[in-house]
Amino acid sequence: MQKKKLIYIIPSLGVGGAEVALLSAIPELNRNFDFRVICLSSFRSSFLAGLSEEERRNVLIFAGFPTNYVRALRYILKFKPDMVITSLWKATPLGIMTKLFQSKVKFVEFIHNTVYFHFFDKLFTKLALKSADIVFCDSASAKTFVEKQGYRKPAEIISFLRFQSPKQWQRREKISLKALFVGRFHEQKRIDRLVLLVKKLVDAGLDFRVDLFGRDDGTMELVKTLIKENHLENNIFLKGEIATDKVQGLFADYDFYFQTSEVEGMAMSVVEAMQHGLVCVLTNVGEIRNYAKNGENAVVINDDFNLNEIVEQLKQITNDINLANKISQNAYLTFAEQKNFATSLIEAINKLV
């Protein structure tokens, strides 16, 4: 039987949740469909290192605004896909135009956030919601956000687990004060607040070492300045960008995960840390509100960002191995039985085509 033609459009590939999820699913999407990825800007070739030669050939780059949109649209219309999926607002114009020229194409808009970040995000996302046949959402909070925009057509939640949880949870015999963050150095991630958190912990006698992995999306210099001003050069280390296929190997070296974002969707890196039983210290935003429960499977910072309470809570956890293991095990169990992204996505696509 001839495979259905599927095009997945994304601005680029990198360490963001939407990009990492797609990279994890490319092998299965390639096996199940006549599949192409369209990227609208260039990226590091190392992000494709885990793919086969055939899979890499199906990742197409159309760089150079604004002609990249014209060239990409020309390719799409010639390819004549059965379905087009757009992820993130810069991809949406191509989905809208494809639907305009080829009305029989199933157009899917994939929503990853719970707020609009600026005028163009709002404009093009709303246009995509009007044109789309269905919306995929990476979380219940993203679906709620879509429904609040007045969207009344089908919306389906896709599991955003890049991989299955480890087969077994690992009990810890001792707790190390080593914490991890993986993500973009972007203003919405509020890494400035993470630096403040570490400062409070160190001043309280909890001498944490925190490794920050990720690319600079605008706030790297600010973070460097804050580290220096707060004399945290021996506590916070900037480790640079890491290939997506290497992230899973990090978790065994840490007992904590810190994320102090102001805005999140599903927060994939948090989910993956919980899958590996790390004690996650988190702000109560996006989908995190629905899966992280303070004192049960995570440490959740209140909306007023009261760090004094968090310091006391972490003192208890680091001094009580049974409490630490309880939170770690509950974190692991939160996602232990869920499908991964590739399986969930393919099941949803097959319903439509």
The pLDDT averaged over each successive group of 10 residues in the chain (353 residues) is 95 86 95 98 88 96 97 98 97 98 97 90 95 94 90 89 91 96 93 98 98 94 98 97 86 97 90 97 94 97 93 97 98 93 96 88
Domain spans, the chain: 5-161+338-352, 178-334
Task: Report the length, in residues, of the chain.
Answer: 353
Asked whether the beta carbons of 286 and 292 are under 8 A apart, the reply is no
- Distance in angstroms (rounded) separating the CA atoms of residues 152 and 127: 14
Q: State residue 153's pLDDT score.
A: 85
Minimal CA–CA distance to 294: which of 277, 314, 308? 314
Q: Name the residue among 46, 44, 41 with its Cα closest to residue 60.
A: 41
**pTM of the shown model:** 0.82
Query: Any idea of the CA torsion for 113, 159, 161, 212, to the nearest 10 degrees?
Result: 10
Q: Which pLDDT score, from 0 to 100, does residue 40 have?
A: 97
Supply the pLDDT for residue 113: 85
Architecture of the domain spanning 178-334: 3-Layer(aba) Sandwich (3.40)
Residue 248 DSSP class: T
What Å distances lie between residue 304 and 265, 270, 301, CA to CA? 20, 21, 8
| pLDDT of the residue at 39 | 98
Q: Looking at residue 154, what is its pLDDT?
A: 87
Query: For residue 240, what are its two tokens?
Result: 């640079």
Output the pLDDT for position 73.
98
pLDDT at position 273 is: 97
272-295: pLDDT as tens digits: 999 999 999 999 998 999 999 999
User: How is 269-314 classified by DSSP, letter by letter?
Assistant: HHHHHHHTT-EEEEES-TTHHHH--BTTTBEEE-TT--HHHHHHHH
Position 215 scores a pLDDT of: 87
pLDDT tens, 29-54?
A: 999 999 999 999 999 888 898 899 99
Which residue in 125, 152, 158, 164 sits closest to 140, CA to CA? 158
Provide the CATH number for the domain formed by 5-161+338-352 in this structure.
3.40.50.2000
Give tens-digit pLDDT for 55-66.
Answer: 999 999 999 999
Tokens of 60: 């197409």
Tens-digit pLDDT profile for residues 301-327: 999 999 999 999 999 999 999 999 999
pLDDT at 1: 77
pLDDT at 182: 94
